Structure 1
Amino acid sequence: MILERVDEFVEGLEEDERDEDQHYFVFERQGHGIPEEWQFSLVQRLEDADGFCILADSTNRKYLYLMAVFGFCVDPQDSLYSVKSRHTDDDSLVLRGSKLEPDAGTDDTLDLARGWLTDCEKKHTACHPTKTRLPSRILDLDGLEDPSKIRLLETRDKESYESYVTLSYCWGSDSSFHVRTTHATMSERLDSIDVESLPQTYKDAIKVTRHLGVRFLWIDSVCICQDDLEDWARESAAMQQVYAGAYMSIAADRAAGSEQGFLKRSGRKYIPVTLNDNFSAYAFQIPPAKASYARAWMTFHNEPLTTRGWATQERLLPYRALHFGNDQMFFECNCHFLSEDGVEIKGRWNSLYPGPEEKGFRDIARKSRVSTTHQHWYLILEDFFHRDITVETDRLPAISGLAALFQKRLNEEMGSVEYVAGLWSNALMEGLEWQSLRSKAEKDIFPDQKPLPSEEGYIAPTWSPASYLGVSAHGATMPGWVDIAQITGYHTTPKTMDNPLGELIDGWISIRGPMIKLHLSDLPDEYEARIGAFSRNMRLCTSNGNDLGSYSGFDGITGQNRATRAWVEESELFAFFLTERKFDEDGNEKSPPMTFRCLLVMPVSERRRVVPGRNEYMRVGTIFLHDNDLAEDKGIVSDVDGFTEIVLV
């Protein structure tokens, strides 16, 4: 196995050497290359995991290559955490890693999961969920004598505080496998449900929950009445309590649809080794990328559930989660992250409830002009907007549970703070500065085509990141930036008060500040060639400033072509100034040139205006401007009396 990995590495280097550009940068400039004689070193795996890494020197001895990584494990019943473990305190060798079986639903594998939970309950005071009532509807797995049947239980009038498990999963694209509770099926399901009639993911979740000794299981499609809009809104607003109050969550990460199930998995090659006379032990190979970067284990990259928008809060809100990935099982709590094959990482991915080993986001906040809690929110938004939402109007409801938790936290820290369509009332200026990155649309969607209130397809105000159907970056809050504009008012109107933090029918922010008209820069191509890769973005300039202009970041437009340039030329575009970079990171006042963060805005036509006669504008993107972009017009930034008040819709 070691020689196979060396051969793969050599093949990769030889391929780079044949490429002219790679040969120059990798071999000539950096000094990489295949040594005439390999010298290997064996070192302990990272994160105190059982096993070793094989390192090799580069030709110039400046670099160490991570050639291969191997782990050690034992049979599931002999691993450290298994409830069946035969280990004693006197054992000199105890391994965390467990040999992976093709079926994660065996008693031995699920006993390992029970062991993880038992250890967490006994040792981790930071991992105990707040005592909460059962959700308004819950699946009772042990309420009938026949184990092949379960039932839906209504708890609304009952004071019940028993443990329950939640399921996080992908519904899938094949609707024939979707099991929905409706008004027509409600009474039947309150009577009984045949387990065999359910899709495989549900059956797997029932099996795991029962093995863990928990009676109740919450699955959204069954526990929410899917053809009752009020019930759906009310229950989606309760997601924070449902997931945060769960004993544990089961995450079916590997399954792209509810029909697939999550207990079957791919195999792994093992080599028997002798580590201890009392136990059978095995060696196995680990991808070097994961072994060298701990967070790679925690992101569940390429797992179907990671692409689902609703799964963001479904992962973050529970205090504990049992993940079923493509090749193994993982356990996540507020104190650590465990893999079935033996990795332990202290802390938790984007933890909402920092444990004793978790630093939280203090280091990030030190470099920010807003609080740790705000920065944490921005990081979660970035993850969420990378994901897919089947029903676009669910973009705000899908994070409403997280919003409820963060609002409570911000109110405790800072007093009265309101949630404003994905932003926070005490950090609106920073919130408005989100930047659009990659569009998910197959073709350019001009940002002025976003639906406005009362128009079909309305999702959120144009200034809210929820209105942009793509990937966005948040939290542009480095120290040294000061506000130029002033927020003078804001308001959002929820579709239903059953979920006031969810879907909207209207929202606006009134803001007062300097603004200046922009037009498309049209310099010769030689300037584009000199500037390089960023030339794909359109440049905008003012009438009196530098003709080169600044690169724009239009929401929904990737690059430029004849159609997008024509759209800009035909549009009335303005830069609305939000903040100014006045100090450096050490707090010293900066000397010119100054940099300004601006929104790109367009006036709303009379025909589309939400309130007739109001000075309404749409956000269409962002842009950075500098002193030389303004030239003789730079006085507008300090001319407070000349500021314009607009209403962003």
Structure 2
Amino acid sequence: MVSVCATCNGLQKHLRALDGGLQETDSASLRLVNTTLPSLRHSTNRGCRACALLLQGTLLHHERFAGIKEDGIKIKAESFDSSNPTSARNAQAHLSVEVRWKAHDGGCCEGDELEHEESYPDLKLEFFTDQDDQSPFSAIGRGRQMSENTLRDSGLSIARRMISDCLSSHFRCRQVKPTTLPKRVLDVLDDDSNGIRLHEAKFDQQEQRYEFGEYLTLSHCWGSGRGIPKTTRKTLESFKKSISWSSLPSTFQEAVVLTRSLGFRWLWIDSLCIVQDDDSDKLGESFNTDDIYGNSFLTIAATSAVDSSKGLFPPKSQPFKIQVTDSKGSLHKIYVREQPSHYSFKAPFDEGAHMNDWELPFNSTAEANLQTPLLKRAWAYTERLLSPRVLHFTQSEMILECKEGYQCECGRIDDPIFDARTTDSVKQDFARVIAESSNREEMDNGNGNGNGNGNDRRIDSVASQLAATSLSGASQDLVHTREDALQIWSYIITEFTERDLTYDADRLVALAAIARSLSPTMKSGYIAGQWTFSTLNLLWHPKEGAQCRRPRFAPEQNVPSWSWASIEGSPIFFDNATAMDLACTASFPAERGRKSVWSPISGVDLEITAALATEVNFRLEASNEYSLSKNNVSVEFRPDVSPLRGADTLQPGETLICVLVSMTFRSSLIGLVLKQSKNNAQVYRRVGRFECYECQRDGTDTEPDDAESLFEHWFPEVEDMTQLDDGPQRTFIVV
């Protein structure tokens, strides 16, 4: 009787199944190996061919764990049940090998027990055969081939299949009406097969639209901008005749060829379709980003290129080939490659986590930013959200992101069987709330209620109180949709402010098109990044410990201190939930007696009316550590700009205004901190937000009091918290 290796069961499915190895929690996978690298070496030295294959395939990627002690490297291998419908549909018959050496805290695993099984492995490999070869190991089957060159037939076929699946399966992704061309677009089917020219679309004055046409858009990193051809007032007329092929960087050339290969005539590229030295044209086209990218059939994304000289299609690492013999001595080829990690599209937390529980920003690790530099750019983030479909070209594969999900060449990005991590769904959630609003509007029109004059189509001129965000006469489903949209908006701002912008002046310009897309859902005024119906959205705060600054805006832009856009250098977070409204409201005088204000890049004064507002003393506890104190009771304070400088400079002992806004479900108090203007005693600037979990009596070593104790210490005159709305209130003008 032939003995079977206890370490790997010979990589034979039937032997492991008889041994009870089928995972009870996952009927689609079969655990075959659960060991360490030294154990794998030991089994190899004893003559196990299967362990030798696993060892060789793992060591081919040794640069990934160089310097790690081998007894701290854990190996797990599993195959997939070919009878499972999902596995069969996706042709996933490879052997998946997980290699782990890091603990959650960044250290190495120690001991014999396998630790941190719930985290994504540090290295994930797949062992497979090609379509024509057989494997001597039943756990290793055929793998899914990846295109080596997108412009060859196999690559184009994969791209077309993913697009076709999107159009046939996804209702939100279908264009329900003909699209119009942007103001300018590139004609890539010019008579000269290698030439292109700039086409100015014909404008129909009566219909107030440009001519119809389907087109593609390009999303790319400019890098330094050197070497990128640009349309200027000087080159505009000549570009309408011809643009030299040799003047185009590699990314542009490959985008043109791909556009032609997919059967399209028109392509939009920002540097060529916007007159770059015409501020009016640049601003106008920036505000139309929702139309430009939203009406595009497909956005081509140079996701792994740091600039346009690197090309659209990065070179892909080819799998290693290992020769193995079966029991009869026949040779077979086994391929080994690193499984695509899906980079910035996947997060380090499990599938099914609610957006409120996500760790934000979604995935901004150094590795993700290195592999997908385009996704680190703020403008590209806007383009990605607005496009119906984005075809990402990465160093490992093509990924199609659309309004209803993802597809990729390896077939695993949206399949929890192969990768249980959560996929970034903001694009899908963004599309969902817009679709729900559009469907509701169509229903209203069908019922004769869509003339735009009813109460449900008007905007509150004064921001609603915290716990009552509903519009007068609005239905509950409308309230729910708007609250849902506000949550998604907050998430978008956090992600957007994590990304890089070359020019501060673009900070609000780049978001204007997203705001315009959400406007029918919000049914609210919009001023300098703030929806006027929401007081809670004023409770933004930079990420803790960030080194922030005030951006430099264009002269025509006035971004007030109450806007999140007035801070640069950190992701911005929001408090959108409250357990109790502390009788604080916010309103915009500019909206009184008129329709909702649309001021996307400039701000106006804000009025805050509060029942719990008081003077406090600012204190410097240590370097970049601050507190607020009154009646010998202090709370920790984190200003918007730290360290303090410029207009945000505060002196120890300086009097500030603390406005309590809400009590949260975290049993904390949240408020705004205002500084009085030196030139006008009626005007204030925001200098920070604070969240109080506990308050400390000055000069004592006693245990801190809980947050609610702050009421009696700072507001002893308030005897009944339930009567705040009927008591005295103070109003502050915040600029």
TM-score above 0.5, yes or no: yes
Please report how far the alpha carbon of residue 633 of structure 1 lies from its aligned counterpart in structure 2 after TM superposition: 2.9
Match of residue 308 from structure 2? 258
Name whichever of 215-224 and 252-261 sits farther off: 252-261
Please tell me whether the aligned partners of residues 245 and 318 of structure 1 are also in contact (alpha carbons under 8 angstroms). Answer: yes
Match of residue 286 from structure 1? 339
Q: Assess, with a 3 A threshold, how the Cα gap between structure 1 residues 109 and 68 changes in structure 2: closer, same or farther.
A: same
Please tell me whether the aligned partners of residues 459 and 467 of structure 1 are also in contact (alpha carbons under 8 angstroms). Answer: no
Task: Give yes or no for the alignment of 1:503 onto 2:555.
Answer: no
Please tell me whether the aligned partners of residues 148 and 196 of structure 1 are also in contact (alpha carbons under 8 angstroms). Answer: no
Task: Give yes or no for the alignment of 1:617 onto 2:653.
Answer: no
Tell me how far apart the structure 1 counterparts of residues 587 and 527 of structure 2 sit (CA, whole Å). Answer: 14
Match of residue 513 from structure 2? 401
Cα distance per residue 1:304-356 (max 9 Å; x no partner): 21221111110011111110123332111223312223324168631246789
Please tell me whether the aligned partners of residues 335 and 348 of structure 1 are also in contact (alpha carbons under 8 angstroms). Answer: no
Please tell me whether the aligned partners of residues 133 and 161 of structure 1 are also in contact (alpha carbons under 8 angstroms). Answer: yes
Q: Assess, with a 3 A threshold, how the Cα gap between structure 1 residues 64 and 314 changes in structure 2: closer, same or farther.
A: closer
- Identity of paired residues, percent? 23
Please tell me whether the aligned partners of residues 54 and 69 of structure 1 are also in contact (alpha carbons under 8 angstroms). Answer: yes
Task: Give yes or no for the alignment of 1:342 onto 2:392.
Answer: no
Amino acid of the residue matched to residue 53 of structure 1?
S
Please report how far the alpha carbon of residue 178 of structure 1 lies from its aligned counterpart in structure 2 after TM superposition: 2.8
Question: Aligned with 2:223: secondary structure?
Answer: coil
Amino acid of the residue matched to residue 240 of structure 2?
L
Amino acid of the residue matched to residue 395 of structure 1?
R
Amino acid of the residue matched to residue 59 of structure 1?
D
Match of residue 634 from structure 1? 715
Match of residue 235 from structure 1? 285
Matches within 5 A, 1:373-452: 373-411=485-523, 417-427=524-534, 429-437=535-543, 445=549
Please report how far the alpha carbon of residue 564 of structure 1 lies from its aligned counterpart in structure 2 after TM superposition: 12
Amino acid of the residue matched to residue 689 of structure 2?
T
Please tell me whether the aligned partners of residues 378 and 497 of structure 2 are also in contact (alpha carbons under 8 angstroms). Answer: yes
Task: Give yes or no for the alignment of 1:325 onto 2:325.
Answer: no
Cα distance per residue 1:517-562 (max 9 Å; x no partner): 2334467xxxxxxxxxxx875231322042xx2222211215x89x
Question: Aligned with 1:205: secondary structure?
Answer: helix
Please tell me whether the aligned partners of residues 52 and 69 of structure 1 are also in contact (alpha carbons under 8 angstroms). Answer: no
Please tell me whether the aligned partners of residues 216 and 300 of structure 2 are also in contact (alpha carbons under 8 angstroms). Answer: yes
Where does structure 1 lack aligned partners over 5 or more consecutive residues?
16-32, 80-92, 412-416, 493-498, 524-534, 586-593, 607-612
Name whichever of 392-401 and 625-634 sits farther off: 625-634
Amino acid of the residue matched to residue 530 of structure 2?
L
Question: Aligned with 1:125: secondary structure?
Answer: coil
Task: Give yes or no for the alignment of 1:604 onto 2:677.
Answer: yes
Amino acid of the residue matched to residue 188 of structure 2?
L
Please report how far the alpha carbon of residue 156 of structure 1 lies from its aligned counterpart in structure 2 after TM superposition: 4.0
Amino acid of the residue matched to residue 111 of structure 1?
S
Please tell me whether the aligned partners of residues 519 and 568 of structure 1 are also in contact (alpha carbons under 8 angstroms). Answer: no
Name whichever of 196-205 and 255-264 sits farther off: 255-264
Please tell me whether the aligned partners of residues 648 and 687 of structure 2 are also in contact (alpha carbons under 8 angstroms). Answer: no
User: Which one of 354, 361, 372 corresponds to residue 484 of structure 2?
Assistant: 372
User: Which one of 476, 480, 484 corresponds to residue 579 of structure 2?
Assistant: 480
Q: Assess, with a 3 A threshold, how the Cα gap between structure 1 residues 253 and 620 changes in structure 2: closer, same or farther.
A: same
Amino acid of the residue matched to residue 137 of structure 1?
R
Matches within 5 A, 1:147-166: 147-157=193-203, 160-166=211-217
For the aligned residue pairs, the C-alpha RMSD in angstroms reads 4.3
Question: Aligned with 1:431: secondary structure?
Answer: helix
Tell me how far apart the structure 1 counterparts of residues 375 and 300 of structure 2 sit (CA, whole Å). Answer: 14
Where does structure 2 lack aligned partners over 5 or more consecutive residues?
1-52, 101-110, 133-139, 205-209, 325-331, 352-361, 416-422, 437-475, 592-596, 693-706
User: Which one of 610, 613, 637 corresponds to residue 552 of structure 1?
Assistant: 637
Task: Give yes or no for the alignment of 1:42 onto 2:148.
Answer: no
User: Which one of 185, 188, 192 corresponds to residue 141 of structure 1?
Assistant: 188
Name whichever of 261-270 and 201-210 sits farther off: 261-270
User: Which one of 648, 651, 656 corresponds to residue 573 of structure 1?
Assistant: 656
Amino acid of the residue matched to residue 618 of structure 1?
R
Please report how far the alpha carbon of residue 269 of structure 1 lies from its aligned counterpart in structure 2 after TM superposition: 2.9
Task: Give yes or no for the alignment of 1:98 onto 2:145.
Answer: yes
Please report how far the alpha carbon of residue 217 of structure 1 lies from its aligned counterpart in structure 2 after TM superposition: 0.5
Q: Assess, with a 3 A threshold, how the Cα gap between structure 1 residues 309 and 553 changes in structure 2: closer, same or farther.
A: same
Q: Assess, with a 3 A threshold, how the Cα gap between structure 1 residues 71 and 335 changes in structure 2: closer, same or farther.
A: farther
Question: Aligned with 2:514: secondary structure?
Answer: helix
Match of residue 470 from structure 1? 569
Task: Give yes or no for the alignment of 1:122 onto 2:150.
Answer: no
Match of residue 111 from structure 1? 157
Question: Aligned with 1:619: secondary structure?
Answer: strand
Please tell me whether the aligned partners of residues 439 and 556 of structure 1 are also in contact (alpha carbons under 8 angstroms). Answer: no
TM-score (norm 1): 0.73
Tell me how far apart the structure 2 counterparts of residues 311 and 439 of structure 1 sit (CA, whole Å). Answer: 27
Tell me how far apart the structure 2 counterparts of residues 13 and 315 of structure 1 sit (CA, whole Å). Answer: 39
Tell me how far apart the structure 2 counterparts of residues 566 and 403 of structure 1 sit (CA, whole Å). Answer: 33
Please tell me whether the aligned partners of residues 608 and 732 of structure 2 are also in contact (alpha carbons under 8 angstroms). Answer: yes
Please tell me whether the aligned partners of residues 673 and 690 of structure 2 are also in contact (alpha carbons under 8 angstroms). Answer: yes
Give the structure with higher Rg (CA). 2
TM-score (norm 2): 0.65
Please report how far the alpha carbon of residue 188 of structure 1 lies from its aligned counterpart in structure 2 after TM superposition: 0.9
Question: Aligned with 1:149: secondary structure?
Answer: coil
Tell me how far apart the structure 2 counterparts of residues 545 and 403 of structure 1 sit (CA, whole Å). Answer: 45
Please report how far the alpha carbon of residue 381 of structure 1 lies from its aligned counterpart in structure 2 after TM superposition: 0.6
Question: Aligned with 1:133: secondary structure?
Answer: coil
Cα distance per residue 1:248-275 (max 9 Å; x no partner): 101111122222222132423333699x
Cα distance per residue 1:177-220 (max 9 Å; x no partner): 13221221111111121222112221121111111111110111
Please tell me whether the aligned partners of residues 487 and 510 of structure 1 are also in contact (alpha carbons under 8 angstroms). Answer: yes
With a CA cutoff of 8 Å and minimum separation of 6, indicate the structure with the bigger relative contact order: 1
